[in-house]
Structure 1
Amino acid sequence: MRIAIAYDCLFPWTKGGGERLYRQFAEEFVAAGHEVTYLTRLQWDEEPVIEGITVKAVSNDRDIYDANGVRTLGPALRYAAGLAKHFLANRGRYDAVLVAAQPSTNVLAVRAALLGTKTVIDVDWLEVWRPDQWRDYSGPVIGTVASVLQWIGAKLSPLASCHSRLHARRLERVGFRGRVIVSPGLIEPRGEVEPQLTVTSPPRVVYVGRHIPDKRVETLPAAIAAAREQIPDLTATIFGEGPSKPAVLAEIDRLGLRDVVSTPGFVSQEELDEGIRTAAVLVNPSQREGYGLVVVESCAVGTPVVVVEAEDNSAVELIEPGVNGYVAKSPADMGAAIVNAVTGGETMRKSTHDWYIRVSSTNTVAASARQILDRLVKAAHLR
């Protein structure tokens, strides 16, 4: 089949879980023998060359976030307009389209442009937000509009896929009228990465990700200070950058942890992998995760994970308490969870890696891609 994937970001020109997911979906579709066009926005200086995949920019915005890490409206609207223009000019070219539902303007653009064609459309929902969540994120006016557009997008989704039970339930509540396909998982087996099943000394906490309000990175220094009351030689490395970093540094200084906590920013993939592999525990205090890929990557090398229970955090679905990590009830409880993970020692590192071996044989990106692809093929044959 001729398949288009519509998402305004493309890995590695932009980095994140969604970017990696849709890039991998494209590669899996090509590996299955299909022709893939990836419709995105301009993110590069030199035209990208990806084997088997045609990459086309339908909008030109280089930046889609404001200074606080919030998506802005203009780039979303221009990307949606670019999608509509492309599909209007290519009606009949594609047998199927996989369109990311974030932002929901993508769904409206694709549906309107392909109305009346035989093209099969699957809307992929990485996340489904509550109305108050949209208002907190984008303000009362734009947030309300975004919430309404999400509701319309759900109503207009012919087929829908999600990657967590949390967001599948929400999609059904906001108005999707069909059967939501929940993928088996988004694990990318990493056989080339050697697990670290022995304990390194001194023990070290790591955080990996952007420094934005939803990630609550600024709560980490207090958790580390609390854990050090029982593990005095505990250190930490907080990777990443973002608008919340000044608050993180201020907390480190307030608690006198400048010699304990390092903040190297963004680093090479090799340094990041080694940092996770040799850590005693990875801590992710985020209140919002659509899936939680970093949890899986950490477990792949035997490093247990601490996450925090939150209404919008799907990553808790990946944790089996006492097996591959712990779920803290709140940021204030992270210190105790860190202590439990670290003192679990080699026993917990082995059970963490065993968890990964067990789930990585079935809950993979490849399996999810095949599930979506099978659905698209079947629907296309019925047209």
Structure 2
Amino acid sequence: MSSLRIAIAYDCLFPATTGGGERQYRAFAEELARRGHDVTYLTADWGAAADEASFSVEEVCGPLRLYDERGVRRSAAAASYAHRLYRRLRRDRTRFDAVIVSGLPVLNVFAARAALRGSPTRILVDYLEVWGRTQWRDYAGLLTGSVGWALQRAAIALTPIATCHSQLSARRLRAEGLRGELLLSPGLIDKEIDVTPRLERTDPPFALYVGRHIPDKRVEHVPAAVAAARESVSDLRLVILGEGSSTAAVREAVDGTAADPWTRMPGFVSERELHDLLGRAACLVHPSRREGYGLVVVEAAAHGTPSVLVADDGNAATELIEPGVNGYIAASVEPGTLGEAIVRAVEQGDELRRTTRAWYEKAVEDRTIARTIDAILAAIPRPDSSRRRTRRAGKDLDGRSS
């Protein structure tokens, strides 16, 4: 089977930036490269993060400050990257067989469509999340949020092929006006999560939070919930990883619940320490109100660690939870409600850890990055040999794709 020339367009790159989207797109690039395809990752200047990649990394713009002091994506950064992406793709209109462009920020979609209009390059837009009007306004304010929502609807209408990773996002794409083809991926599990699960409880037990500290993650509710859980599990402790715009509120919550003696906040940690903590935690507590997939739930399950999530209209991660099998879903972030779910996860102990690992072992057979890439590749037609010869001739003449 002939190889393809595929670009992935996203302004972030793991491990320089560490969110779920960054991990997903790097995994996409690595899986495509492993299959012998020519992969180019179009991103900003993230320094050494491009080192030792199994694919080509091209910087289309300089370093970006992605978030403001509130943890909100900066429009200026999104516009800068989209403008430079447009120029790069416009210059190399026939260089790629396909471009996988992230639908967040939405300006990426307009840049790719405008640059490649009339070219044979297939465009696939990957939607990490799809927000409603209210969610946009809550996130960015009335004016900016309304503009963001309108741009999202326009981008969705311009999307020829959309990929997404939850039933929630699939429903919202159709509700927001998608008329093109929709590929709902089977999952985003990376088979490279190669760990030896710890299937016995660690004493004393501790609950673990992993992620950025921003308002949507609701990290500040965790200390009070664990304090409530300690009424039943007296030796329960808490470890909160990460930092962000809400860190001050989280520290205030720790002080306000007198949680300091049994709480650690080490900030961001190494990959090795992260996996050690994921393996030893009694449960992962992730009270986020919005998730496009919930990769951290999968990573915890690989270690046999159950997750405690919170139900919310924007939280697609709850689709990964089978209550009593690999975790629990609390009805709210109220201390008693969330604390009760934590107690159930901790008290089930070794048995819940065994069923959580069993859930992962079953899921890793068919909910993987590899299966998702299968679906993406099926949507990209193979170029004929005459088209490839034309490309090579053009490159020989002027030093780049014609």
Q: What's the counterpart of residue 196 of structure 1?
A: 198
Query: Residue 284 of structure 2 aligns with which residue?
Result: 282
Q: Distance in 2 between matches of 1:368 and 1:160?
A: 13
Q: What CA deviation, in whole Å up to 9, does each residue of 1:215-270 have, x standing for no partner?
A: 00000011001000111111110111111111111111111111011111111111
Q: Secondary structure at the match of 1:65?
A: coil
**RMSD, aligned α-carbons:** 1.6
Of residues 235, 238, 245 in structure 2, which corresponds to 1:236? Answer: 238
Shift in CA distance, 285/47, structure 1 to aligned 2, threshold 3 Å: closer
Q: How does 1:213-362 map to 2 (within 5 A)?
A: 213-332=215-334, 333-362=337-366
Rounded to whole Å, the distance in 2 between the matches of 1:286 and 1:164 is: 16
Distance in 1, Cα, partners of 2:37 & 2:278: 36
Match of 1:133 in 2: 135
The correspondence for 1:3, drawn from 6, 17, 31, is 6
- TM score, norm. by length of structure 1: 0.96
Amino acid paired to 1:240: G
In 2, Cα distance between the equivalents of 1:345 and 1:49?
Answer: 41
1:84 aligned partner? 86
Question: Structure 1: 5+ residue runs without aligned partners?
Answer: none
Amino acid paired to 2:64: R
Aligned length: 381
Structure 1 152/33 Cα, relative in aligned 2: closer, same or farther at 3 Å? same
| Secondary structure of 2:380 counterpart | helix
Is the 1:160–1:180 Cα contact (8 Å) retained in structure 2?
Answer: yes
2:373 is the counterpart of 1:369: yes
Moved more, 29-38 or 187-196: 187-196
Alignment-derived partner of residue 43 in structure 1: 46
For residues 54 and 23 of structure 2, the distance between their equivalents in structure 1, rounded to whole angstroms, comes to: 17
Query: Is contact 1:29-1:373 (8 Å) kept?
Result: no
Return the letter of the residue paired with 1:369.
Answer: I
Moved more, 184-193 or 159-168: 184-193
Equivalent pair of 1:120/1:380 in contact (CA under 8 Å)? no
- Shift, 1:94, TM fit: 1.1
In the TM superposition, residue 380 of structure 1 has moved relative to its aligned partner by 8.9
Comparing 223-232 with 52-61, which one deviates more in the overlay? 52-61
Q: What does residue 65 of structure 2 align with? A: 63
The secondary structure found in structure 1 opposite 2:381 is: helix
Secondary structure, aligned partner of 2:123: strand
SS in 1 for 2:344: helix
1:34 aligns with 2:34: no
- In the aligned structure 2, how far is the partner of 1:264 from the partner of 1:349? 25
1:171 and 2:173 aligned: yes
- Residues 160 and 181 in structure 2, CA contact (< 8 A), matched pair in contact too: no
Aligned counterparts of 2:195 and 2:292: Cα–Cα separation in 1: 25
CA distance in structure 1 between the aligned counterparts of 2:348 and 2:381, rounded to whole angstroms: 47
Q: Is the 8 A contact 2:254 2:260 kept in 1?
A: yes
Please list, as runs of the form range in 1=range in 2, the aligned pairs for 1:73-112 lying within 5 A after superposition: 73-112=75-114
After the TM superposition, which segments of 4 or more aligned residues of structure 1 sit over 4 Å from their partners?
378-381
User: Contact 1:120–1:379 at 8 Å: present in 2 too?
Assistant: no
Which residue identity does 2:18 align to in structure 1? K
Q: Which amino acid aligns with 2:31?
A: E
SS at match of 2:245: coil
**SS state at 1:376 partner:** coil
1:275 CA displacement: 0.8
| Aligned residues of 1:288 and 1:313 also touching (Cα < 8 A) | yes
